[in-house]
Amino acid sequence: MSKKFQLLGTLTAVAAAAATGVVILAAPASHAASTACGNLCTDFYPQTTGATDIISTTGTAQGSAIDLATAADLLPEDFQLSALGTVADFYNAGIIGPAVGTTWPSDPAYEIEYAPGGSGSGMCLGTAAAAAQNSVITLQPCGVSADTIWVGLTVDHIGGYMPFIAGSDTIVNNPYVLTAGPAGASLQTQKLGLVAGTFAPKQMWASKTGAI
C-alpha cells in the first residue's frame, strides 16, 4: 500500500462512513480494470462517454498524464479508490484550505491511486501544484498534499454521477473540478460549469469496480 494521510485515531471508522458517498454503478459488460486487478480496482468515467471510456495513465512515473481510453483489460486502467475521511478532517489538520474546508466540510475526501495489477504504485491522480483553470491531471505522490485529494460533491449527485472538487481548490463559487476531454486528451481541472441548466457532463463522474 502507498503512504496515506494520517489524520485521526478514528480515521478508519470515518473513512468507512465516507465510503458510502462515492458513486458506484453497475456498468455495461466491459472491463473496468485488468483481470489481474479484478475487484481490487475501481475505474472512473465521465457522463459524456459512460463506461465506454475510462481513466487511464499514459505512463508510470510522476508527472505521467491521465486521459480517457477505451475500457479494456489493460494495466494502465487499474486504479484503487481510498476513502480518507471527511473534508473537515483535512481542514482541521491544515492540509485542505478554507475555501474547500469550510464550504464542504462533511463531504468525503478520496485519493485515486494507480495500482497496476492491484499493487499500489504510490502515485495518485492529482495536479503538480494547486488546482487552477486547465491544470493537467497527472500522477503525483499519494499522501503528501491536497493536490491529490478529490472531494465528492454529494449534494450534486445526479443520476449516478457527481462532480469531484480538487482538494487544493481556492474558489468557493464554480470550484475547480475533475474534467474530461475527448478520448486521448489529458484530464484537467476546470471551473464547474453548466450545460443546458445542469452540470457539464464532462465534469460528472461515476465508477465501477472490478473486471467484468
**Contact criterion met (CB below 8 Å) for 113 and 124:** yes
What domains can you pick out in the chain, each with its CATH number? 11-209 (2.80.10.50)
**Contact criterion met (CB below 8 Å) for 125 and 189:** no
Tens-binned pLDDT, residue by residue, of the chain (212 aa): 345 665 543 443 344 444 444 444 433 344 567 889 988 899 899 999 999 999 999 999 999 999 999 999 999 999 999 999 999 999 999 999 999 999 999 999 999 999 999 999 999 999 999 999 999 999 999 999 999 999 999 999 899 999 999 999 999 999 999 999 998 999 999 999 988 888 999 999 999 887 65
pTM: 0.88
**Strand ranges (E), the chain:** 42-46, 53-57, 66-70, 79-86, 108-114, 123-126, 135-136, 138-141, 150-152, 164-166, 176-179, 188-191, 194-195, 198-199, 205-209
How is residue 6 written as a grid cell? Answer: 494520517
The DSSP symbol for 49 reads T
How is residue 108 written as a grid cell? Answer: 468525503
